[in-house]
Structure 1
C-alpha cells in the first residue's frame, strides 16, 4: 500500500497528498537550470497551499518570490511568510481596492497591463504617499513558438501592444506614484520541449531590449515569464533543461551586455514545474455501471475537486495507478466520471483504466498543480477534498478549504 493510500484510510477521500521534498527538489532543479543571476517567482495560481509556498521560500540563497493576482493570493503569500517586498502583483483586472490592499501590505512591485492600469496603481500609491515600481507587461506583435498555450502575439487583455510603446512612452514614464522599472513578458505556458522554450526565451529577450529602447529608460527588472513543462494528471517525470543556462546567458549577453553594471535583475516564473509533481489525488470508486454498451467508473472526486476546466470541454489526459495486486495489462476502456449532477463532470472519456469495482481506490499522479483551487469547488456544495502535506514520509499538516456565506454588510 502506498503512502497516499495509507493516508486515505485515515483521512478519507477525496484526498490530496503533497510531498514537500518533491517541491524542494523541483525548486533546486529549476535554479540549477537557470543562470546564477536569475531569480524565480512562484505563480501562486498553480497551488497556494501554505506549506508548499513555505517550502519554495525556505532556501535563503534560492528562495522563490511570489507572483500573485488577487487579494486572496496576497493573503496566501503573507500566510506562507512572504514579505511585501518579495511579491509581484500581476493581472489584467486589478481594482483600486485590491491595489490599495497590496500597497498596504508592503507590495511595491506591480505588473501593469495598460496605461489606465498604470494610472490606477499610481493614484493609489500617491494617496498612500509612496512610489511603486511597475513592470510594463508587453504583448509582443510576434512570437516564436507555435505550440503550447500562447499568451502573446494576438489581440489580448494581457499586456500593452508592443507596437504602441514608443508612442505611449512619454505618458507611461510620467504617471505620479510610479516609476517604470522594467518589462514583463509571458509568451507561452507549458512548452512542448526544451528547444521550443529556448527559442521563445531568445525571442522574449530580444523583444525586451527593443521595449527598453522604445520606452527610453534603463530597466532594473526584467521578467521573461515561464513555460516550464510538467505532466498533468498522467505518469511522467519532471523534464530537464540542460541547455537552458548557457542559451539564456548568451541571449542576455547579446541584448543586455551591460546588465550587471546597470544592476538589472532578471526573473522567470513557474507554477506547474515547481509543484505539479508533488501531488497525488486519491479518490474512491463509488459505483461502476454500464449504459448502452459503455462502462462508467464513478468516483467521489470530479471537476469540483480536480481539473474543473474539463467541464468546459477540455478533457484531461487522466491516468490512474492500478490497484495493488492487479495483473499487468488487466485494463478496460471506460469513462472516468465524478459525482456531480451534470454530464460535464467527466475526467476522461473512454480511456484505458484498471478493472475497478466499488470501494477501490484510484490515484491520479502529477496532480500538485491546478487542482483544488482550479476546480469548480463550490458547485453542488460538496465538501472540499482534504489536503495532507508530508515531508520525509511524515505528515506536516492536514487541512481542508471551507466555503461559507457571509451575511450583513459586505464590501
Structure 2
C-alpha cells in the first residue's frame, strides 16, 4: 500500500494532498531565478489554502507579495501573513465596496484596466483620505511567444490598449486620489520553454520602454507578468530556470539601464508554478462501463472537484500517475485501458479526460492525478448537485499537518439599507 493509498483510506476520496515542502521549493527556485531586486507576486487564486499561502508568504526576508482580486483573497492573504501594503489588487470589476474595504485594510497598490477603473479607485481613495498607487495594465498590440496561452494583443476586458495610451494618459494623470506608479503586463500563461519566456519578457520590456519614451508613461514600478511553466494534471517535472536571471539582467540593461540604481522596480507574478507540483488528487473508481465501443471509467471526482479549466474542455486531458512498475508497464505497452475519465455528476460535461491511457482497473481502485496543486477545489463547481467538497490534506516532511474540508452553508443576508430582511422570498 502506497502512502497516497493510505491517506485515501484514512480520509476518503476525493482527496487533495498538498506537500508544503514542494511549495517552499518552488518559491525558492523562482526567487533564485529572478534578479535580486525583483519582487515576486504570488497569485492567491491558484491555491488560497491558508497553510499553502503561509509558506508562500515566507518570513525568510525574501520578497514575496500577494496578488489578489477579491476581498476573500485579501482576507486569506492577511491571515497567511502577507503585508497589505505590499499587495497588488487586480481585476476588471472592482466594486466601490471592495475598494473601500481594501483601502481600509491597508492595500495601496492597484492594477487598473481602464480610465473608468482608475477613476473608481481614485474616488474610493479620496473618500478615505488615502492615495492609491496605480499600475496601468497594458494590453500590448505586439507579442513574442506563439506557442503559449496568449493574454494580450486582442480585444479584452483586461488592460488599456497600448495604441490608445497617448490619447488617454493626460486624463489618467489628473484623477484625484491616485498616482500612476507604473505599468502591469501579463502577456501569456504557461510558456512552452525558457526561450519563449525570455522572448516574451524582452518584448514586454521593450514595449514598456517605448511607452515611457513616446508618451511619458511614469515607470517607477513595472510588473512584467508571469508565464512560468508547470505541468497541470499530467505527469511531469516543474522546470527550474537556471539561466533566467542572467538573461533577464541582460534584457534590463538593454532597455532600462537605470534599474541597477533602483530607479525602476520590477516584479513578476506566478500562480501555477508556485503550487502546481505540490498537489495530487486522489480519486476512486466507482464504476466502469462500455458504450458503443468506448470505455468510461466513472470516478468519485468530477468537475465539482477538479473543474479548473479541465471541466471546461480547455486543458484536456488529465493523466494518471502509475503507482508501481506493473501499472507503469501496462500504460507503456498498452495492455491497460484507454478510456474516458468522467465524474459522478448528472451532466455530459463532467469529463476530466478522453482516451486516457490507464492501467487495468477495478471498481474501488484509487487513481492519482499528479500536479494538481493549482486551480483545484476553489476553481471547481463545488456546490453543483450538493456533493461535499473534497478533503484537503497537507503534509510536511511526510507527516500530516492539516486535514480540512470547505463547507457551504446558507446564511441570512440583511438589506443594504440596514433594515431587517423582508419576507416574501429567500434572503
With the shorter chain as reference, the TM-score category is: over 0.9
User: Is this contact kept in 2: 1:232–1:317, CA < 8 A?
Assistant: no
User: Is this contact kept in 2: 1:182–1:221, CA < 8 A?
Assistant: yes
Shift of 1:10: 1.1
Q: Pick which of 78-87 and 119-128 moved more.
A: 78-87
TM-score, normalised with respect to structure 2:
0.93
CA distance in 2, matches of 1:331, 1:20: 33
Q: Does 1:244 align with 2:244?
A: yes
Structure 1 unaligned blocks of 5 or more: none
Residues 1:217 and 1:312: Cα distance change in structure 2 (over 3 Å): closer
CA distance in 2, matches of 1:410, 1:21: 45
Q: 1:387 aligns with which of 387, 392, 395?
A: 392
User: Is this contact kept in 1: 2:126–2:177, CA < 8 A?
Assistant: yes
Q: Does 1:286 align with 2:277?
A: no
Q: Does 1:339 align with 2:344?
A: yes
Shift of 1:259: 2.3
Q: Does 1:12 align with 2:12?
A: yes
Q: Does 1:92 align with 2:92?
A: yes
Q: Does 1:363 align with 2:373?
A: no
Output one character per residue of 1:251-289: Cα deviation in whole Å (capped at 9) or x when no partner: 111211112335322100001111100000001111111
Shift of 1:321: 2.5
Question: Structure 1 residue runs of 4+, over 6 Å off?
Answer: none
Tell me the residue number matched to 1:53. Answer: 53
CA distance in 1, matches of 2:44, 2:413: 30
CA distance in 2, matches of 1:151, 1:252: 22
CA distance in 2, matches of 1:38, 1:90: 19
User: Is this contact kept in 2: 1:165–1:214, CA < 8 A?
Assistant: no
Tell me the residue number matched to 2:43. Answer: 43
Shift of 1:214: 4.2
Map of 1:207-226 to 2, 5 A cutoff? Answer: 207-216=207-216, 218-226=218-226
Task: Give the secondary-structure state (helix, strand or coil) at the position aligned to 1:258.
Answer: helix
User: Is this contact kept in 2: 1:66–1:82, CA < 8 A?
Assistant: yes
CA distance in 2, matches of 1:239, 1:44: 21
Task: Give the secondary-structure state (helix, strand or coil) at the position aligned to 1:409.
Answer: coil
CA distance in 1, matches of 2:167, 2:315: 43
CA distance in 1, matches of 2:232, 2:33: 21
Residues 1:325 and 1:161: Cα distance change in structure 2 (over 3 Å): closer
Residues 1:158 and 1:408: Cα distance change in structure 2 (over 3 Å): closer
CA distance in 1, matches of 2:294, 2:406: 35
Shift of 1:217: 5.2
Tell me the residue number matched to 1:353. Answer: 358
Shift of 1:178: 0.5
User: Is this contact kept in 1: 2:169–2:217, CA < 8 A?
Assistant: no
CA distance in 2, matches of 1:82, 1:410: 32
Tell me the residue number matched to 2:149. Answer: 149
CA distance in 2, matches of 1:14, 1:143: 40
User: Is this contact kept in 2: 1:92–1:112, CA < 8 A?
Assistant: yes
User: Is this contact kept in 2: 1:323–1:354, CA < 8 A?
Assistant: no
CA distance in 2, matches of 1:382, 1:63: 39
Output one character per residue of 1:349-403: Cα deviation in whole Å (capped at 9) or x when no partner: 1221111111111110000011111111111111000001111111121111112
Output one character per residue of 1:316-342: Cα deviation in whole Å (capped at 9) or x when no partner: 221112355735224111111100001
Q: Does 1:197 align with 2:186?
A: no
Q: CA RMSD in A?
A: 1.5
CA distance in 2, matches of 1:316, 1:375: 15
Tell me the residue number matched to 2:420. Answer: none
CA distance in 1, matches of 2:311, 2:371: 20
Shift of 1:81: 1.5
CA distance in 1, matches of 2:242, 2:394: 30
TM-score, normalised with respect to structure 1:
0.96
Output one character per residue of 1:292-349: Cα deviation in whole Å (capped at 9) or x when no partner: 2221111100110003433333352211123557352241111111000011101111
User: Is this contact kept in 1: 2:50–2:80, CA < 8 A?
Assistant: yes
User: Is this contact kept in 2: 1:201–1:224, CA < 8 A?
Assistant: yes
Structure 2 unaligned blocks of 5 or more: 417-427
Map of 1:248-263 to 2, 5 A cutoff? Answer: 248-263=248-263
CA distance in 2, matches of 1:168, 1:359: 61
Task: Give the secondary-structure state (helix, strand or coil) at the position aligned to 1:348.
Answer: strand
